[in-house]
Chains A and B, each alone.
Chain A
Amino acid sequence: MSELFVELFSEEIPARLQVNARNELKKNIKNFFIDNQIKFNENFNVYSTPNRLVLHVDKIPNEIKLSSEEIKGPNVNAPEKALEGFIRSNNTILEKIFKKNTEKGEFYFFNKESRKIKVSDLLEKNLSEILKKIAWNKSMKWANYDLYWGRPLKSILAIFNKKPLNFDFSHINSSNKTFIDKSLEEGMKIFNDFHSYLKFFKQKGILIDQGLRKKIIQNKINEIINKKNLKIEQNDRLIDEIVNIVEKPAVIVCDFDKKFLNIPSEILITTMQSHQKYLPTFDKKNNLTNNFFVVSDIKDTKGFVKLGNQRVIEARLSDAEFFWEKNKTQNLVKQVDKLKNINYFKGLGSYFDKIQRMRKLSSLISDDFLISKDKIEIASSICKVDLMSDLVGEFPELQGIVGGHFARFQGFDKEVCLAVSEQYLPNGMESKLPKKMYSVALSLSDKLDSLVGFFGINLKPTSSKDPYAIRRMAISLVRLIVENEIKIKLKDLIVYTCSVYRDQGYEFDIKKIQNELSDFIIERLKNYLKEKKIRQDIIESSTFLLGLDDILKAYKKSLCLNKNIKKEIGIETIAAYKRSSNILNTVEKMSTESLGFADPGLFKNDYEKKLYKKINDIRKYFLSIGKDENYEESLKILSSIKNEVNDFFDNVIVNDEDIIIKKNRLELLNMLCKIFDNYFNFSKIEA
């Protein structure tokens, strides 16, 4: 049993691409072993540092045995040259060739005997292909070469069973050597096995295993925060990125001048995290502190690294402070007019036009939400002013949040400030959801305005392209409604939004927008339900009759049926419905002059009468329930009809000889199916 050990040395590969390359290499090498029926340790790993992509697989046999096989050659009638070629390519002699009949005629054959192949030979032959198959998310060329790689590839070390594998990959020849110094790419050293390689670098403080690096970073950080009584935010994405941009991590605690803590913390955190890859710290009360972590790729023996990073953050924070001090005092209301100079979108006017529309829209929504019209109008008017600030110019990801801080500083109402902060939330499936009604109203009107606008100028997303993230907007709209249990008439709001656009002189095809946008939002609802692990047939049923105004209902009913579908009430409800609808489907279609109800005068037995009565009871139930329908109760009521249904089918023959009786019974079953529609259309449910 042997090990395969490959190291691909390159210039610094970005964190995301390392992950991509590790996965690809792992997949390709696995496929190679499986395809060639070579045993291997399936728990193998691919490691990476910015400069080294390392593959290590052990428990591989040195040889594999290929069983004998018959190899088909040319047809016996083919020219002699074909036979000669066949003999040559199989490295054999004429005496070993024999003829054999097949369905397609008589052919020459050769019996290839079982033989052993060295795995090292196979690897040498295939490794180049395996590497070529790595599908980079982004790759480049360099110098005169045609090879595409994440960043320039410098050397390949390849070992099997402690011996070098020799192959060419583009312009590079593999060997048993690699560079020790990743910076200057100097000091070639020979390695014959993975463990001596790992050990060698470990002695230099370099950790090839990204998992180990992560552990060491986390342990060190935990040690320090415990000592200092601090906390850090769980941020896996940032930690994973940091892990992949260092090879010998050294955690350094730095600090910045406490005076900067007067700047809103989001600004400080964004500066540290996304711009500098630092980890901010918090005290036990979750307040940001002036301590932060830098993960350096070098031991800071002279203190330069700490000093340098502190200087960088202070320079960045003084910039931010300068803008914060300047922007916070600029009167939000007085700046609203300037939004006229800022284009919202070509064909949809300026941001000033947009906030006028949002103001009207949110004002209408405020009636439904029973919130102050004045306050939501103020929030709408000032909500986009921060787009003109230097701070949002510097930190575009903090739009809204920064505006909220300005509003707070200038003494606006608390709920108004929060609404401004949260206007862009939620932003997709995973994002935080606003709960306060002012925030929800502002976010709703922002999204509705955008959706109607983009559909109005025909910039709907296509199946492959969605450059304006319109899908995300619609998903967010669905989440706002469903997760906050909001009852609004979305259809009316869309029509109203169209009319607000029309007042500004935008002539949209209202009918078209209504239809297309409605379908689009319903599609997003379906995706949303799918994310919530609701059965596909239930999703299809819930959106069959329920439309845009009933998003919340559709969601709740789906959830309720999904929960109960394997329970007694679910099974019975569906059984009762299916028994009736199956008859209706098999018997020739109800004649067009269906009355919609059965005539009790034509009933011939109690089973019909009892079923009729039960149907009417249930119908009354559905007529009496209002907005606060209890969906589980409704399912229970529907399922309670099972006795009457079963008695009916056990004792009554629908297909009566008398056509009038028959028709009346079909009408009865039709009535039965119709009352089920009060929940939703069950015809798409699979039993």
Chain B
Amino acid sequence: MVSKIKKKTLSFQDTIFNLQKYWSKKGCVILQPYDLEVGAGTFHPATTLRSLGPKPWKTAYVQPSRRPTDGRYGDNPNRLQHYYQFQVLIKPSPKEIKKMYLNSLSSIGINHEEHDIRFVEDDWESPTLGAAGLGWEVWCDGMEVTQFTYFQQMAGVECKPVSVEITYGLERLCMFIQNKKSVFDLIWNDEGITYKDVFHQSEKEFSAYNFEYANTDNLFKIFEMFEEETKLLVEKKISLPAYDQCLKCSHVFNILDARGVISVAQRAEYIARIRELTKSIGKVWIESQS
């Protein structure tokens, strides 16, 4: 693979740099990933909590995202239990957001006049966050590369003003740019390091952990502990630490789900419990904003 690299191919890390530079010029606060396990960039408090309340806010950041059930031991060319999202959140949603987005694609080498860019209906809902939005998934020549959402509700509260969230699936996007059939063949940097070099072992081992070794008895207990902690912190009216505990609940739940020890009925119940936590935190956060 290494010998085939063309000089001009945009590497995985350059893709990130370009997007960061682009959105930085648009006035976004460039943040670093949140330091807890989350399922998507949306869970970063810079999105969930900051999308609530009246204060304007613009941010962009990379967020490692964990989806334990999607692990395939590194065997599947398109699936990972750990992957990267590039997330942009702007409140209130600017008038020219579509133009900004299309130009951001140009900054990573995708010219919308040469490709079939489509905005395909995809309304979004997150039962654990008590959130819902309307928008699209953006297709580039048939491949989904971005989620584009106008938040209507977050933590059970109606969003006013409305934020717009743009989430690029970085691996998908790079596979498109680099013309690769397997995520593991992605060129990470100009030195020829590939995605496989960086993450293959981790995919293998974490799949084993998520599906086989995670101690479910303990995890059930840990869930309860985090839940209790969240409630306590909500009472103390400190929303950010409370939210951290809630994120931990959410991740523990995801592992339990991957281990297949949560039945359909239980699943709904756990999701409802996390949603209740998020809602109570949202309330405390909004109070702190006024």
A78 at the interface (CB under 8 A from B): no
> CA A180 – CA B179 in complex, angstroms?
32
CA distance in complex: A311, B165 (Å): 27
B121 touching A142 by the CB < 8 A rule?
no
Give the number of residues in B that approach A within 8 Å (Cβ atoms): 42
Q: Is B195 an interface residue (CB 8 A)?
A: no
List A contacts of B176 (CB < 8 A): 308
Which A residues lie within 8 Å of B264 (CB)?
342-343, 345-346
* Contact partner, B78, options A16, A50, A315, A342, Cβ 8 Å: A315
* Per-position binary interface string of chain B over residues 137-148, scored 1 when its CB falls under 8 Å from any chain A CB and 0 otherwise: 000111100000
The residue among B112, B119, B142 with the most chain A CB atoms within 10 A of its own CB is B142
Q: How far apart are the CA atoms of A50 and B98 in the complex, in Å?
A: 14
A508, B249: Cα distance in complex, Å: 38
**Chain B: which residue is nearest A313 at the CB level?**
B142
Cβ distance B181 to chain A, nearest Cβ, rounded Å: 7
- CB of B170 to closest CB in A, whole Å: 16
Residues of B54-102 contacting chain A, CB below 8 A: 76-78, 92-96, 98-99, 102
Partner of B76, one of A11, A307, A319: A319
A312-B265 in contact (CB<8A): no
A144 CB contacts on chain B under 8 angstroms: 92, 160-162
In the bound assembly, the distance between CA atoms of A262 and B235 in angstroms comes to 60
Contact A276:B142 (CB < 8 A) given known A140-B150, A341-B260 = yes
Q: How far is the CB of A139 from chain B (nearest CB, A)?
A: 8
In the complex where A138-B123, A343-B265 touch, is A185 in contact with B141 (Cβ < 8 A)?
no
Residues of B within 8 A of A345 (CB): 264
Q: Please name all residues of chain B whose beta carbon is closer than 8 Å to the beta carbon of A346 when the two chains form the complex.
A: 264-265
B134, A140: Cβ atoms closer than 8 Å: yes
Name the interface residues of B131-167: CB closer than 8 Å to any CB of A. 134, 136, 140-143, 150, 152, 160-162, 164
Residue B120 is within 8 A (CB to CB) of chain A in the complex:
yes
Say how far A260's CB is from chain B's closest CB, in angstroms.
Answer: 14
Contacts of A12 in B (CB 8 A): 118-119, 136
A143 within 8 A of B: yes
Distance, CA A138 to CA B134, complexed state (A): 9
| Stretch of A221-229, A295-303, A574-582 with 4 or more beta carbons under 8 angstroms from chain B | A295-303
| B287: Cβ under 8 A from any A Cβ | no
Q: How far is the CB of B139 from chain A (nearest CB, A)?
A: 9
A183 interface contact, C-beta 8 A: yes
**CB of A322 within 8 Å of the partner chain:** yes
What band does the interface of chain A fall in when counting residues whose beta carbon is under 8 Å from B?
35 or more
Give the complex CA separation of A308 and B180 in angstroms. Answer: 11
A184 contacts the other chain (CB 8 A): yes
With A11-B119, A141-B152, A315-B78 known to touch, is A294 a contact of B142 (CB < 8 Å)?
yes
Chain B nearest CB, measured from A447 CB (Å): 20
Of all chain A residues, the one with the shortest Cβ separation from B143 is A312
CB distance from B216 to the nearest CB of A (A): 13
Whether B35 sits at the interface, judged by CB under 8 Å, is no
Query: Which residues of chain A come closer than 8 Å to B181, judged between CB atoms?
Result: 311, 314-315, 318
Which A residues, 157 to 212, have Cβ-Cβ distances below 8 Å to chain B?
183-186
Distance from B259 Cβ to chain A, minimum over Cβ atoms (Å):
12
Counting CB contacts under 8 A, is B114 at the interface?
A: yes
B26 contacts chain A at the CB level, 8 A cutoff: no
Contact B141 A143 (CB under 8 A): no
Cα–Cα distance between A301 and B115 once the two chains are bound (Å): 10
Known: A309-B141, A343-B265. A14 touches B121 (CB 8 A): yes
Q: Which of A14, A309, A318, A342 contacts B77 (CB 8 A)?
A: A318
Do residues A183 and B112 form an inter-chain contact, with CB atoms below 8 A?
A: yes
Given the interface pairs A141-B162, A144-B161, A312-B143, the reply to whether A305 lies near B115 with Cβ below 8 Å is yes
Contacts known (A142-B93, A144-B92, A343-B264); A308 close to B141, Cβ less than 8 A: yes
Residues of A1-44 at the interface with B, using a CB-CB cut-off of 8 Å, are 11-12, 14-17
Q: Is A152 an interface residue (CB 8 A)?
A: yes
A-chain residues with CB within 8 Å of residue B76 when the two chains form the complex: 319, 322
Query: Most B CB atoms within 10 A — which of A12, A50, A318, A322?
Result: A12
- A610 in the interface (beta carbon within 8 A): no
Interfacial chain B residues near A50, Cβ < 8 Å: 119
Q: Is A52 an interface residue (CB 8 A)?
A: no
A376 CB-CB contact with B under 8 Å: no
* Contact of B140 (CB < 8 Å), options: A138, A141, A308: A308
Residues in B with CB closer than 8 Å to A186 are 99
Contact in complex: B116, A296 (CB < 8 Å): yes
Minimum CB distance partner of A185 in chain B? B99
Judged by a CB distance under 8 angstroms, whether B117 is at the interface is yes
Question: Which residues of chain A from 423 to 443 have a CB within 8 Å of any chain B CB?
Answer: none
Asked whether any CB of chain A lies closer than 8 Å to the CB of B218, the reply is no
CA of A546 to CA of B146 in the docked complex: distance in angstroms?
59
B32 at the interface (CB under 8 A from A): no
B164 and A184 contact, CB distance less than 8 A: no
Is B263's CB within 8 Å of the partner chain A? yes
The chain B residue with its CB closest to the CB of A296 is B116
CA distance in complex: A188, B68 (Å): 49
Closest-by-CB residue of B relative to A294 is B142
Residue of A nearest to B111 (CB): A304
The answer on a CB contact under 8 Å between B112 and A312 is no
Contact string against A for B residues 237-276, beta-carbon threshold 8 Å, 1 for contact and 0 otherwise: 0000000000000000000000010011100000000000
Interface positions, chain A 307-356, Cβ under 8 Å from B, are 307-309, 311-315, 318-319, 322, 341-343, 345-346
With CB as the reference atom, state the residue of chain B lying closest to A12: B119
Q: Which residues of B contact A294 (CB under 8 A)?
A: 142
Q: How close is A646's CB to chain B, nearest CB, in angstroms?
A: 67
Contacts of B161 in A (CB 8 A): 143-144
User: CA separation between A308 and B142, bound complex, in Å?
Assistant: 7
Tell me, yes or no, whether A357 is within 8 Å of chain B by CB: no
Task: Please tell me if the beta carbons of B134 and A151 are within 8 angstroms of each other in the complex.
Answer: yes
Asked if B99 and A184 sit within 8 Å, CB to CB, the answer is yes
- Chain B residues with Cβ below 8 Å from A322 are 76
Cα A314 to Cα B102 with chains together (Å): 26
Residue of B nearest to A314 (CB): B181
Which of B112, B118, B176 neighbours the largest number of chain A CB atoms within 10 Å of its CB? B118
A302 nearest CB neighbor, chain B only: B114
Instruction: Tell me the complex Cα distance, A43–B103, Å.
Output: 42
- Residues of B near A14 (CB, < 8 A) are 121
A461 → B minimal CB distance (Å)? 20
What is the interface of chain B, defined by CB distance below 8 A to chain A? 76-78, 92-96, 98-99, 102-103, 112-121, 123, 134, 136, 140-143, 150, 152, 160-162, 164, 176, 179, 181, 260, 263-265
21 A/B residue pairs, CB under 8 Å, sorted by A: A17-B121, A141-B152, A141-B160, A141-B162, A143-B93, A143-B94, A143-B95, A144-B161, A183-B98, A183-B102, A184-B102, A245-B118, A298-B113, A300-B116, A304-B114, A305-B142, A308-B142, A309-B141, A309-B142, A311-B181, A342-B264
Question: Interface on A for B, CB 8 Å cutoff?
Answer: 11-12, 14-17, 50, 138, 140-144, 151-152, 154, 183-186, 245, 276, 294, 296-298, 300-302, 304-305, 307-309, 311-315, 318-319, 322, 341-343, 345-346
> Closest 9 interchain pairs by CB?
A308-B141, A14-B121, A12-B119, A309-B142, A346-B265, A140-B134, A312-B142, A143-B92, A343-B264
Given contacts A12-B118, A315-B78, 11 further A-B contacts (CB under 8 A): A15-B121, A138-B134, A184-B102, A185-B98, A186-B99, A296-B116, A304-B114, A305-B116, A311-B143, A312-B141, A318-B181
